[in-house]
Every structure is written in C-alpha cells, then in structure tokens.
Amino acid sequence: MADLVVIGGGHAGCEAALASARMGIDTLLLTLNMDGIALMACNPVIGGSAKGHLVRELDALGGEMGLAIDDTFLQSRMLNMGKGPAVHSLRAQADKQAYQNRMRKALMTQEHLTVRQGEAASIETENQKVVAVTTATGARIPCRAVVAATGVYLKGSIIIGEHRHDGGPQGLMNASLLSRSLSDLGFELRRFKTGTPARVDVRTVDFDEMQEQKGDEPVVPFSFLTDRKLENTYSCYLTWTTPETHRIILDNLDRAPLYSGKIHGIGPRYCPSIEDKVVRFADKERHQIFLEPEGKESREWYVQGMSTSMPEDVQWAMYRTIPGLRRCEFTRLGYAIEYDCIDSLELRPTLESLRISGLFFAGQINGTSGYEEAACQGLLAGMNAALRIQGREQVLLTRDQAYIGVLTDDLTTKGTDEPYRMMTSRAEHRLYLRQDNADLRLTEIGFRAGLASEERLERMRRKREEAERLIHALRTTRFAPGEALNSFLREKGQPETAGSLNAEELLKRPEIHLADLQALKPEWREVSPAAAEQTEISVKYAGYLEKQQHLIEQARRMEEMLLPEDLPYEQMEHLRLEARQKLARQKPVSLAAAGRIPGVNPADVAVLTVWMEKQRRMKAEEEKAHDS
C-alpha cells in the first residue's frame, strides 16, 4: 500500500517521487531497473539554452536536479553571454555515473519514499479514479494516485540499420505491458522516436586535431542553495564533419532507417540525426561536432552532433572521416529508439488526466524531449498528486510565472505532434522569466505547497531585501561634481560634467557596471553576488521590464477569467462546431487558455466572454431576488 505510486525512475520519476515524499506522502517509486535510475541515456548534460531556465525553476520550487548537477559536473558554461540576460543559460557536463549515484542516494535516504524494482503492468480504476497499480509479477499495490513517468521505455524498440529489437536505452529492457492498460483506459497512444550517437574510446581520439572548449570561471551554480566554490575539471572539444562524411551518408541513404521506412515514429525537429541534417541542410559544407566526457571513471566520450541509426558499417566509415576521430574505436553504436506516448491534450495544466482522477503523467510519455523538461514535469506532477491526496488546491503555473508554465500550457492547450523541446522563443515574457530570478518568482509557491524548505525561503528573502536596499541606495545617491567624478567618467569613455550625477542614472549607461560604482562606494560591495546581479539587471533594463510587466498584467486579467470545467460548450449555439468540440475535449481553465487552443479563434473567445457575462448577471439577479 502506498498513497502515491510513481512509475518510472528516470528524471521525471525521480523528481515526482522526491517531491511527494518531501510533502509527507507515502510514496513508492517503481522502476524497471534500479541501475537505470536517473540514467542519462543520451548526452550527460544538464541545462543549455532555455533548459537552464527550467533547472533553475525546478530548484527554486524545491527540486533535486540543480543540487545533483552542482555535486557531479565536469565542466560548466554560461551560454549566450553575448546577448541579454533573458537568454543567458547555464549548461553543465555531468559525470554520468556520479550523477546517477547522487540521485539514487537522494531517493534511498528520503523519508516517506520506497524504491522498488519491478514492471508496472496496469493501472486499476474504479468510477474513473485510480485505486491500484499491478505489476508484471502479479503484485497489486493499492494507492490513491499514480504518476506515470515511463520515459522512452513503453514498448521501446531499438533500431540500427536493418536491425531492430525490443528494448530500452543502453541495453536496458523495455516496458511491454503498460501500453495496453493505458489504451484500455481510453488513451490514444502515439509513436515518437529519439536517437543517440555512438560513444568512442577516449584513447583513440586525437584531441590535437580539435579545438579545445574550456569551461567558464568562476563557475555559476545551478542551485540557489549552493554557495561553495565550484571548479571545472574537464574541457570539451570541437571538430567538424567533412565532405567525405556527407558523401558516405548520401551514398547509403537507402540503408538509413529514417529514409527506408524502417522508422515510423516522429522524431525531434530540433535535435535531428546527422543523416537528417546532411539531407535537410544540403547547402552546408560541414556541421559542428563536439567531443564531451561521460565521467571521471569512464573512457567513453560522447560525440554530440552525430546522432544516427545508420547500419554499423556506415557508422564506422562516417565517424572515421572526422578530424580527431580518424582512428576512433566505438564502445557503443548509435541507435534510434521508438516508444509509445500519450496525447498531451488529454491532460490538465496540473498534468492530471482529464478522464481519470488521480492519474498524472510526466516526461517523455507526454511527448516531450530532454532531461530538464521531464524533471520539471515530474516535480509538478508529484507536487500536485501530493496536494490532491492532501485535499489541497493544486499548483497551476501560468505562462507569466515560469518556463514550466509555458511548457505545461503548450502541452495541454496546443499539444505537440513531435517531441517537444523548450526554447526561449516559446516564452512571450522571457525578459521577466530569467534564470537569475527563478527563486524570486517561484520559491514562495514551492514553500506554500510544502516542498521548498524554510532555508530556501529565507535565502530568497535575503536576496530580495539586499537588492531592494541597494536599488534604494543607487536611487538616492548623487556623486558630487569635481575631478574625481570626471576622472571616473573619462575612464569609462563618458562625457565630463560640471554638475552632480545620480548613481542609478549612471548605472543605466551601457558602459558602466555595478562593479564600477562599487569601487566608488565600497560599502555597496556588502551584498551577495546574486543580489548584485538582480540590482544591475533591474536598473539597466528598468524601462523594458516595466513594459513587460504591463503586458503581463494585461494577460493575467484574461488568465483570471476562469472557466468552470462543466461548461456546456455543446449548447452554445454561437460557437463554431470545431470550437465546441475542442473546448469540450480540453476543458481549458481560463478564457486565455481557451484562446490558445488551435482551432478556437478570437470570435469564439468573444462568444465565451458574452456567455460568461450573461451567466454572471443571471446569478447576480437570482441572488438579489433571493435576498429580497
């Protein structure tokens, strides 16, 4: 017996199980293989463009991924530093085995959490409510809620050229039974696919033919709780494909499963295989390839950019045309994997099923790709499953609150017909949804839910108060006229002045940074680096942030116009038939969410608005008549 059963021990399942257990819910994590917990089956990397934002948000809410990567990374970089702070994103190369061990320890030492190896065979329901999970070996586990976080294991199929076999990633078994149970419960299953490159023995790599890519110093941690100094220990390396690489691929396209019809699943648009890149971008003479370490105790290196499902002999031939890999030896072949997933339009924004109470879904089973997208869904699903069991209001993150809100809204209102990947361009409020302020946006939400700790809350409040005090000091400080001020201005390439200058106005100038003003006012150095970062961004981008806040407030008014779940859309004769059907199926939570559903146009939203206003007036008149 468990209050909550989490099916799957990948990145979604780990965060779901930890979240619910930390909220006091007796939780069982059921995983196919204890050795596959938190497996990085593809690149052992956490973060990247937009994905770094997700990890920071997950950490702010009380998740584990940020802490785990801070403890186990090999190299860390901040991406997009040539652009504005809205798109700055952390990316860290992980020690693959160390990360698994770190996450497994967190699970095995967590109070209220039991981890068990076994295959989930079915989910039992009564009156459209979850009541139990049964295993392949015949065990029946009564429960009050389930989080299905099955990753790419549902009827997983591995494809290498003409060879195909049932299985999960990296030689693990697949889950062959649960798909039928989901179909019997009414879920329409789809086939998606992803892939991975070959791994090479580092002893057969010639790094002197590649460009070294060092990590950043100082290292910026992922977790808001990490305050110790972190250090890079490894470099990555850059090389390129050659015309010979492309010739070998094009000469063997008839043997490529992607083009021969052997692969039926839909693959990720933004992470294509090398054969797909060569065909789609025929005008490019070369493609970037990165060599990245998989661990301190491993001789395997990951060949990023060379994902493939080509036959084995073609893989050997094409890899050995790349500078630095001409004498490489494989430790593992590249492969594609097809798997079952559900239609995410079957879900509420809380990630609970529309049709079955207490059944939540998280990760790649929802049609997403990536460890970070999966982990964030896992945390949200685990948190909301716990809140449902506790009889409390569930957490619904909106598009103006978090990238996680953008992710869940996209999945549950627009759906996805290919593996979904988070990108900064998907967030219309991205200047506000920065990775540096994730704690300010989300920690209080995590704390109210019972997940984020008091320590997190206090750290966030200290940071906010420090930044507010420093902004006030900048706003109320003027530098007196004279040679000292003009010398400072000349040094920064600024025109001299005969009068005094306000510190806040000085900081708004692109050439002047907070560190420059702290040199003039040493007492301003007595703030944390995080508070200093918040201060500088808040001052320099004040005008843009004010405009963004105005747009957020406009959008929030629409989000706050909530739609009852039992609205009789079929009876609204002024709604178009397509709109009626889609609204009835997806049950949007707000007028704004209704407007984002493909097939629901502004005229339909106007009809809903009029209908809601009419109902409000009728209710007001009834209450008035009753009172009289």
Question: Which ranges in 109-256 belong to alpha helices (H)?
Answer: 178-184, 243-251
Q: Do both 261 and 138 map to the same domain?
A: no
Q: Among 303-307, 388-392, 603-607, whose mean pLDDT is lowest?
A: 603-607
Among 393, 420, 449, where does a domain finish? Answer: 449
Give a yes or no: residue 555 inside a domain.
Answer: no
β pairing state of 163-166 and 157-160: antiparallel
Give a yes or no: residue 433 inside a domain.
Answer: yes
Q: Do both 56 and 170 map to the same domain?
A: yes
Q: Among 31-35, 258-262, 274-278, 407-411, whose mean pLDDT is lowest?
A: 258-262
Cβ-Cβ contacts under 8 Å for 375 (sequence gap 6 or more)? 11, 12, 14, 15, 54, 55, 58, 63, 65
pLDDT digits (tens, 9 = 90+) for 159-199: 999 999 999 999 999 999 999 999 999 999 999 999 999 99
Q: Do both 35 and 94 map to the same domain?
A: yes
Q: Do both 53 and 153 map to the same domain?
A: yes
Q: Assign residue 470 a region: left if phi > 0, alpha if psi is -120 to 50, beta otherwise?
A: alpha
**Could you tell me what percent of the chain has a pLDDT over 90?**
83
Tracing tokens 């200047």 back to the chain, one arrives at 431
pLDDT digits (tens, 9 = 90+) for 505-524: 999 999 999 999 999 899 99
Q: Alpha-carbon dihedral of residues 205, 281, 169, 141, nearest 10 degrees?
A: 150
Q: Do both 136 and 229 map to the same domain?
A: no
DSSP 333-353: --EEEEEEEE-GGGB-TTSBB
Q: Do both 542 and 565 map to the same domain?
A: no
Q: Do both 322 and 217 map to the same domain?
A: yes
pLDDT digits (tens, 9 = 90+) for 334-346: 999 999 999 999 9
pLDDT band at residue 529, thresholds of 50, 70 and 90?
Answer: very high
Give a yes or no: residue 156 inside a domain.
Answer: yes
pLDDT recorded at residue 628: 65
Give a yes or no: residue 556 inside a domain.
Answer: no
Question: What is the CATH number for 566?
Answer: 1.10.150.570
Indicate the burial class of 231 (C-beta count within 10 angstroms; 0-12, 13-18, 19 or more): exposed
Is 594's pLDDT higher than 80?
A: yes
Among 504, 521, 547, where does a domain finish? Answer: 547
Say what the pTM is.
0.93
pLDDT recorded at residue 568: 86
pLDDT averaged over every residue in the chain: 94
pLDDT digits (tens, 9 = 90+) for 214-269: 999 999 999 999 999 999 999 999 999 999 999 999 999 999 988 877 777 777 77
Q: Contact 37/100 with Cβ under 8 angstroms?
A: yes
Among 416, 449, 482, where does a domain finish? Answer: 449
Report the domain count for the chain. Answer: 4
Q: Which domain holds residue 224?
A: 199-335
Token code pair at residue 156: 């997983």
